[in-house]
Amino acid sequence: MTETVRAIQLAWHGACRFSDTSILPGSAIAPSRPGVYVWVVGWPQLRIPSYAGQTTDLRGRTADHVKNLLSGRDPLLDPDLLAQSRYREVYRPNSAAWDLATSAHAASHRQLAAANLRAYEVYWAVLDVHERVLQSVESGLISALRAVAGLPDDCNHKNQLSLRHENAPAVTVASVLPPGVRFSRFPMSYSYGVLPD
């Protein structure tokens, strides 16, 4: 029996940009709909994907990421290197990270978190499909990002470019970026779970 391969087109939208603590006024805002998203760093001429995921609520997931970054739940990177799309971790969460408001280091952590947040842009593609198909699109995107960028499985600060959905349906995916937007090391098309002929 041959499994049906779903052909998916991702129409990417964005960018959502950030101030020290929130989304910049006038910035694009993801809708409260299912889809895939990618956080990118760097300059407009050299936007490099750093984190990719899928969710049933793009707006809510973006807010969760911001909250986690600012509250000490996520690692933080050297902001000068991050702006150059290079990674060097300078903070890693631990048990004390959940109570940064009482920490002597809270002010320096807030400054570092704000600098990290300002370095990112978020792009998303709405995808109203069954959750298993959404998982295949995400896993394929992550796999393709690793291949295009030549990154090892444990390449960055959260292992975020890692596969999570091994038995999801087969998909072929093509991307359309917003006008004037270019990503470096980004797969414009990929397949996932498709057996070779």
CA distance 160 to 77: 14
- Per domain, the residue ranges of the chain are 6-192
Tell the burial category of 121 from Cβ atoms under 10 Å away from its Cβ (0-12, 13-18, 19+): buried
Q: Quote the percentage of the chain above a pLDDT of 70.
A: 80
What does the pLDDT read at residue 197? 53
What does the pLDDT read at residue 114? 92
Q: Considering the entire predicted model, what is its pTM?
A: 0.84
Percent helix / strand / coil, the chain, rounded to 5: 30, 30, 40
What SS3 string covers 138-156?
Answer: HHHHHHHHHHHHCCCCCCC
What does the pLDDT read at residue 52? 92
Mean pLDDT score, 48-66: 93
CA distance 188 to 174: 6
CA distance 86 to 140: 23
Residue with tokens 């990503």: 183
Residue 9: Cβ within 10 Å count? 12
What does the pLDDT read at residue 155? 41
Structure tokens at 95: 């048990």
Q: What is the pLDDT of residues 132-188, one digit of tens each?
A: 899 999 999 998 988 876 554 444 434 444 455 556 789 999 999 999 888 888 899
What does the pLDDT read at residue 103? 52
Mean pLDDT score, 119-143: 93
The secondary structure of 42-111 as a DSSP string is EETTEEEEEEEEEES-HHHHHHHHHHHHHHTSS-EE-HHHHTTT---EEE---GGGGGGGGSTTHHHHHH
Structure tokens at 80: 């000068």
Helix or strand holding residue 40 (H, E): strand 35-43
Q: What is the pLDDT of residues 75-100, one digit of tens each?
A: 888 888 877 777 788 888 874 544 45
CA angle in degrees (0–180, nearest 5) for 85-14-49: 25
Q: Which residue has the higher pLDDT, 2 or 63?
A: 63
Helices 58-71 and 106-119, axial angle in degrees (round to 10): 140
